[in-house]
Structure 1
Amino acid sequence: MIEITSDNDLFTILKDNELVIVLFYANWCNPCRKMKKILKSIHDEFKMIRIITIDIERDSNLFLDNDINVIPMVHYYKKGHVFSKESGLKSSEYLRMNIEALIKIPLN
């Protein structure tokens, strides 16, 4: 799991990785900190997925460019395209279910 701070970093990661999960968060947000821990533990199970985090206070352009209006916000990408967007704290079981669904979608 890595932290990114620019649009270029996000574009490169989306271009170079088949499966990407992006967490938009803020350090002062307790549900965000919990979500970050959950995603870190999930990353250990799903090594083929690139999980990145974006601190909305460090780069407001990434926050605005991705139409984030609530945190935590998770975007699921497959082959550079958004598969799903979800807001709020989610359980590890729920996130695993979404990741498994993302993996099963055929590539075009």
Structure 2
Amino acid sequence: MAIIDVKKTNFEKEVLGSSTPVLIDFFANWCMPCKMLAPIIQEISKEHNGLKVCRINVESEPELAEAFQIMSLPTLIYLKDGIVKEQSVGFCNKEVIKKMLKQ
């Protein structure tokens, strides 16, 4: 499944209104750990059917970053039924992300 760029205008539909679990990648273009994490997130999106993978650029969507109290990048947030189940701050490997998705 393709990674969806989420903005304030489509946040409710893509994230809160999703019938499937959602993994959100909060990132910034200047963030080197975010760039290192990007291929792993791409792999996760291809390997996990039934998971919606989204990304939010904190520079262009500061209100969404503030709503989730994002203080460091990258930050991954895993939601089910619009409720945060797991969160990871900083670069992490694929196994850590897979463990998050089991919650």
TM-score normalized by structure 1? 0.85
Aligned mates of 2:12, 2:36 — CA distance in 1: 26
- In percent, how many aligned pairs have the same letter? 24
Q: Is the 8 A contact 1:73 1:86 kept in 2?
A: yes
By how many angstroms is 1:18 displaced?
Answer: 2.2
* Structure 1 unmatched ranges of 5 or more: 103-108
Q: Determine which structure has more spread, i.e. the larger CA radius of gyration.
A: 1
Q: Is the 8 A contact 1:31 1:72 kept in 2?
A: yes
Aligned mates of 1:59, 1:98 — CA distance in 2: 24
By how many angstroms is 1:52 displaced?
Answer: 0.2
Which residue in 2 is equivalent to 1:10?
Answer: 11
TM-score normalized by structure 2? 0.89
How many residues were matched structurally? 100
Q: Does 1:40 align with 2:52?
A: no
Q: Is the 8 A contact 1:19 1:48 kept in 2?
A: yes
* Structure 2 unmatched ranges of 5 or more: none
Q: Does 1:88 align with 2:72?
A: no
